[in-house]
């Protein structure tokens, strides 16, 4: 894990080489960034079901072609059968590897800094250190001449779509709901 500086100076929060104006920060918090393991397994099972259907389709095509062929189907149908099964096996291997990358990925304790736009800065590190930084950054937002310089861990994840970000929101019935339950 690499390290990067987190610096507050002149009403800017610097996370590495990215600058965030303190007045644009709307939330600073820590949480555990968890991989979407259950979703990865569900996606894998759906892919397996589709591949099984594809296998049945290939078999149906070959048997149908064999039944209506007046000649010996020969090498061409054998080639099509091999190509179809090799494609299915390749897709199955790719799906298994894709699932295993998510299932074996580790969780990360992170400090998240959200802005009033769509950007969010996330860094990792020791949970006690990151929890303390939340208070320091929140204090710096209120103090115009605040300064802070610390070193945090650079968050390194291969595919952000494999992780849960933000709050889990449960809405119960009705329309026009305005509240949320954070779990």
Q: Is 122 exposed, middle or buried (0-12, 13-18, 19+ CB in 10 A)?
A: buried
Phi, then psi, of 44 in degrees rounded to 5: -60, -45
Mean pLDDT in residue range 51-66: 80
Residue 183 has pLDDT above 60, yes or no: no
Query: pLDDT tens, 114-152?
Result: 888 887 888 888 899 999 999 988 888 888 788 888 888
Decide if 16 contacts 154 (C-beta within 8 A). yes
CA distance 21 to 100: 39
Q: What residue ranges do the domains of the chain occupy?
A: 3-34+112-162, 37-103
Output the pLDDT for position 175: 64
Determine phi and psi for 176, rounding to 5 degrees: 70, 30
Q: Which of these ranges, 15-19, 49-53, 118-122, has the smallest mean pLDDT?
A: 118-122
The pLDDT assigned to 162 comes to 74
Distance of CA 2 to the CA centre of its chain: 20
Q: Whole-angstrom Cα distance, residue 183 to residue 166?
A: 11
Average pLDDT in the chain: 82
| Percent share of the chain, pLDDT over 70 | 80
In eight-state DSSP terms, residue 35 is B
């Amino acid at each position: 894990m690499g390290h990067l500086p987190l610096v507050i100076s002149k009403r800017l929060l610097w996370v590495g080489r990215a600058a965030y104006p303190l007045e644009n920060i709307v939330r600073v918090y820590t949480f555990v960034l968890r991989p979407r393991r259950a979703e990865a397994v569900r996606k894998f099972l759906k892919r397996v079901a589709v591949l099984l259907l594809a296998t049945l389709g290939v078999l149906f095509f070959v048997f149908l072609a064999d039944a209506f062929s007046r000649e010996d189907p020969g090498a061409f149908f054998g080639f099509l059968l091999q190509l179809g099964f090799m494609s299915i096996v390749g897709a199955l291997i790719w799906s298994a590897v894709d699932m295993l990358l998510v299932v074996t990925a580790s969780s990360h304790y992170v400090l998240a800094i959200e802005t009033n736009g769509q950007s969010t800065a996330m860094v990792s590190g020791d949970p006690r250190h990151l929890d303390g930084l939340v208070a320091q950054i929140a204090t710096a937002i209120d103090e115009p001449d605040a300064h802070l310089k610390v070193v945090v861990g650079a968050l390194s994840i291969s595919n952000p779509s494999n992780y849960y970000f933000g709050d889990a929101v449960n809405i119960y019935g009705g329309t026009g709901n305005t509240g949320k339950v954070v779990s």
